[in-house]
Structure 1
């Protein structure tokens, strides 16, 4: 276990990984109070993290800890010059930070300046470090080296100790790390150790926070190893999963008029899970859609399969992920303009870039106009939801119109029309024949056709609408057209993957006309009000609920089909 942790720590970057993700959690757990974490674009005066307190089992008095953090190993060439230069930052701590940055309440505390790195201080730099610390150590100021071995020891002792991390989550975590080259296996083991760590039995505030921190550290380690193995599919899937499991734990806290320190700590951990997801998704798209989205068929060919089904499934998966990232960045860009205008602007630009990429991906890969699974309605609805958030519906209506034509035309010619069958073998064989009995089985129900028909009033003329409904009536007259709403049990079940909950509204057939469809949906929205009690929606985190719907293949409720302005 320690070897895994040391390798993981050595692979971390300074900015965004070691200093913002791992070390703050570790310091909090060993008994220190973190005073500040690094911010991009601000002067640090040599100190990446400041903390105060006593380390459990080590310190007999309180210290002010000042951390200078570097990535990987530190060699002699890193001592005075280069990106990782150590001495200039140590000098800046001594000459600037100690003179002007220490708050009055901590001015009388002894100080420990810690050179922290995920790797080790190489032999060639040890003499420089020894000479420097010997020269500048005083009664009040001392120096410590916190290398990967020291950090791994602290993690084993406080976060991942054998008596704290039970055998089951420890074993599943190690298996997830070992299987980072196999996305599905890695995902299942990650799901297993998250389920073990965040089970219902750990209910005290202190225990809850510890388990969340353990989950984050373990998940971060899995993702770091997946990046090392150049398997970004694993990084995306487990980061999204971690975000959902984290919220499932946090949502159970009792609401109080004034947030406590515990509440703030929980939200800090959630923020880290969200940032981990955004970082993993950014890396994933930089290698896929952002780079190759404009090249015709490039992404389809990259699936490397002769089966059109594989290409279709992969491309809709990619499109749904793109839409979800855009929805998240749009939310954050609207929520941060005053707190951090520069970051807010970069997020808004990221949303625009994602929208442009989605348009390019759709135009460059025609398979996206011919969904083979009926539940591809989820991806289509997410794209249109993002389009409405950004007032860019007109860019996607031609695509939606193409879907309305191709899906019904596929029914007429009996060629890979959307089916509610999900088993891969069934999809490969689809359609097995043109018998009406098979059509009735393959299209026993549909969430796709009602959604597409709902939008036809905004994108199609009367002739096209009539043709759409007549084809459905002719080929699949027995199909149950339906929509899904959460119920009172959904908030307790959706975050960990339970799908047997919710309310199915079946009277939404395109055969009855658009006015009847809208009337039925409006009445259902008025009646099925449990969605307003979904914890993430009450907290203003609508994308979290939509992420759960996409991740666990639940339909997007009609509440998100058309936004009021």
Structure 2
């Protein structure tokens, strides 16, 4: 475990990995109170992180800790100049920070100036460091070096120690690290150790500790997956982390005035979201953003002769794009007043996602013909994003094309949407043109009712008539339905349990639009438990939608047609 952690720390090269993600959580666990963390665009006077307190098991008195943090190894060329210049920042701490930035309540405390790096001090720079620290030490000010070994020891002792990270999660964490080249295995092991660390019913006193454990472990997995160039794993496990973190945060009582525990939980949840956003940006930059405008480029990149593989991969990518756009659209509204520049950047990101989705659909015709009935999830997320951004007209032709292609596929008996989920069933579908087979393959549908509702806005009278007649002829016994949350959904959905919710089944297009709309509206009015979903109550509708996509639950009709 110590070797894994040391290599992980040494690999943290990008700004924000060590100073914003790992070290603040570690310092909080070893007994220090973090006073500030780095902010982009502001002068730090040499200090990346300031903290005060006593390190458990080491300090006899409270000290003021001032950290100068560098990524990876520190070499001789980093001592005086370059991006990682060390001595100029140490001079600033001594000449500026200690004279002007120390609060009065900490003015009399002993000072520990820490040169911190995820790797090691190169042999060529050790003499420089020894000479500098000896020359500038005093009775009050002492210098220390915290390298990867020191940080790994602290993490083992405080966050990931054998007696704290128990055997089962420790083994699954190590397996997740070992399997970063295999996305499905990495996800399964990551889900196992995260679920074990973030178990239900924890006392408030250990919730923060467990969340920090989970965040550090998740950071390690994503970092190693990036090193292995496995972007699939970093996306799936980072999104999973957000959902499981919220499962713990949501259980906290809502107070008018949040206490320190509530605030700390909120900060940790923000860190999980930031990790997900960073991972999704890296994933989409490598995939959709770079190649969506090239005809068949992403379809070809699936590297499979099977049409089902291409279809599944492209719809998965579409859903991830849509939920990313929903996140940035929501966050841009959150930061409009407090940080207008950041809000504008998020708005630009949302527009980029919308443009990419249009390009993706235009360049990959398979997205007009969903092979799975639950691809309704991806289609509904795209249309929800379009509605909240006022972009609906851009996607109506695509929606009309899907309605036409899915029913035409029934006529020619070729890859019409099925409720089968097993890969071998999808690979061989359809194996027969008999009505009995279609009745089994399409025993229920959430896709056709969703398309039927939208066709009222999209299609001509003849197109709607053809849609209804084809369904009536080829799927006379299909149960057209919708899913809505119930009172147990908020308890189960965040961990991926799917046996909850209410199913409305009387949505056959043969009844006509008015009756279907009346049934849906009645269900929405009578099934009000969605308003009790913790994420919805907290203004995080996108988190609920992300959980639906992640765990393959249909998007409820509350989000089918909204006022944009």
Provide TM-score, normalisation by structure 1: 0.99
Which residue of structure 2 lines up, in the alignment, with residue 110 of structure 1?
A: 110
Structure 2 SS opposite 1:145:
strand
**Partners of 2:352 and 2:143 in 1: CA distance:** 46
Which residue of structure 1 lines up, in the alignment, with residue 150 of structure 2?
A: 150
What's the CA shift for 1:543? 1.0
C-alpha contact 2:387 2:563 (8 A) present in aligned 1? no
What's the CA shift string for 1:393-412, capped at 9, x where partnerless?
11111110110110000000
CA shift in 2, pair 1:14/1:136, >3 Å: farther
**Partners of 1:412 and 1:16 in 2: CA distance:** 55
What's the CA shift string for 1:273-305, capped at 9, x where partnerless?
101100000000111001111111111111010
C-alpha contact 1:14 1:69 (8 A) present in aligned 2? no
Which residue of structure 1 lines up, in the alignment, with residue 452 of structure 2?
A: 453
Structure 2 SS opposite 1:83:
coil
**Partners of 1:111 and 1:344 in 2: CA distance:** 39
Alignment pair present for 1:228 and 2:227: yes
**Partners of 1:102 and 1:521 in 2: CA distance:** 62
Which residue of structure 2 lines up, in the alignment, with residue 54 of structure 1?
A: 54
> How do 1:16-27 and structure 2 match up within 5 A?
16-27=16-27
C-alpha contact 1:70 1:84 (8 A) present in aligned 2? yes
Runs of 4+ off more than 3 Å: none
C-alpha contact 1:119 1:147 (8 A) present in aligned 2? yes
**Partners of 2:45 and 2:363 in 1: CA distance:** 49
Provide TM-score, normalisation by structure 2: 0.99
What's the CA shift string for 1:245-293, capped at 9, x where partnerless?
1111111122223211111111111111101100000000111001111
Which residue of structure 1 lines up, in the alignment, with residue 72 of structure 2?
A: 72
Which residue of structure 1 lines up, in the alignment, with residue 416 of structure 2?
A: 417
What's the CA shift string for 1:458-513, capped at 9, x where partnerless?
21111111111111111101111000000011111111110011000011111111
C-alpha contact 2:53 2:62 (8 A) present in aligned 1? yes
What's the CA shift for 1:13? 2.4
C-alpha contact 1:113 1:142 (8 A) present in aligned 2? yes
**Partners of 2:228 and 2:422 in 1: CA distance:** 29
Which residue of structure 2 lines up, in the alignment, with residue 39 of structure 1?
A: 39
Which residue of structure 1 lines up, in the alignment, with residue 175 of structure 2?
A: 175
Which range moved further: 280-289 or 245-254? 245-254
**Partners of 1:500 and 1:120 in 2: CA distance:** 51
What's the CA shift for 1:90? 1.1
What's the CA shift string for 1:81-126, capped at 9, x where partnerless?
1111111111111222122212222122121111110001111111
Which residue of structure 1 lines up, in the alignment, with residue 367 of structure 2?
A: 368
Which residue of structure 2 lines up, in the alignment, with residue 401 of structure 1?
A: 400
**Partners of 1:463 and 1:100 in 2: CA distance:** 77
Which residue of structure 2 lines up, in the alignment, with residue 548 of structure 1?
A: 547
How many residues are paired up? 564
Which residue of structure 1 lines up, in the alignment, with residue 469 of structure 2?
A: 470
What's the CA shift for 1:200? 2.6
Structure 2 SS opposite 1:15:
coil
C-alpha contact 2:419 2:443 (8 A) present in aligned 1? yes
**Partners of 1:42 and 1:519 in 2: CA distance:** 57
What's the CA shift string for 1:293-319, capped at 9, x where partnerless?
111111111101000000000000000
What's the CA shift string for 1:342-366, capped at 9, x where partnerless?
2211111111111111111111100
> How do 1:268-307 and structure 2 match up within 5 A?
268-307=267-306
C-alpha contact 1:14 1:70 (8 A) present in aligned 2? no
What's the CA shift for 1:14? 4.9
RMSD (Å), alpha carbons: 0.9
**Partners of 2:97 and 2:161 in 1: CA distance:** 35
Structure 1 SS opposite 2:430:
coil
What's the CA shift for 1:526? 0.5
C-alpha contact 1:46 1:92 (8 A) present in aligned 2? yes
Structure 2 SS opposite 1:68:
strand
C-alpha contact 1:248 1:495 (8 A) present in aligned 2? yes
**Partners of 1:543 and 1:93 in 2: CA distance:** 43
Alignment pair present for 1:125 and 2:125: yes
**Partners of 1:549 and 1:40 in 2: CA distance:** 35
What's the CA shift for 1:338? 2.4
**Partners of 1:42 and 1:307 in 2: CA distance:** 53
Alignment pair present for 1:83 and 2:83: yes
> How do 1:215-254 and structure 2 match up within 5 A?
215-254=214-253
Which residue of structure 2 lines up, in the alignment, with residue 141 of structure 1?
A: 141
What's the CA shift for 1:391? 0.4
Alignment pair present for 1:492 and 2:491: yes
Structure 1 SS opposite 2:16:
helix
**Partners of 2:142 and 2:14 in 1: CA distance:** 23
Which residue of structure 1 lines up, in the alignment, with residue 556 of structure 2?
A: 557
Which residue of structure 2 lines up, in the alignment, with residue 439 of structure 1?
A: 438
**Partners of 2:478 and 2:147 in 1: CA distance:** 63
What's the CA shift string for 1:142-179, capped at 9, x where partnerless?
11111100000000000001111100000000000000
**Partners of 1:101 and 1:230 in 2: CA distance:** 42
Which residue of structure 1 lines up, in the alignment, with residue 331 of structure 2?
A: 332
**Partners of 1:194 and 1:560 in 2: CA distance:** 30
Which residue of structure 2 lines up, in the alignment, with residue 310 of structure 1?
A: 309
What's the CA shift for 1:339? 2.1
What's the CA shift for 1:334? 0.8
What's the CA shift string for 1:173-204, capped at 9, x where partnerless?
00000000000000000011011111235x22
What's the CA shift for 1:321? 0.3
Which residue of structure 2 lines up, in the alignment, with residue 387 of structure 1?
A: 386
**Partners of 1:188 and 1:480 in 2: CA distance:** 33
Structure 2 SS opposite 1:98:
helix
**Partners of 1:16 and 1:324 in 2: CA distance:** 24
Alignment pair present for 1:356 and 2:346: no
**Partners of 2:550 and 2:125 in 1: CA distance:** 48
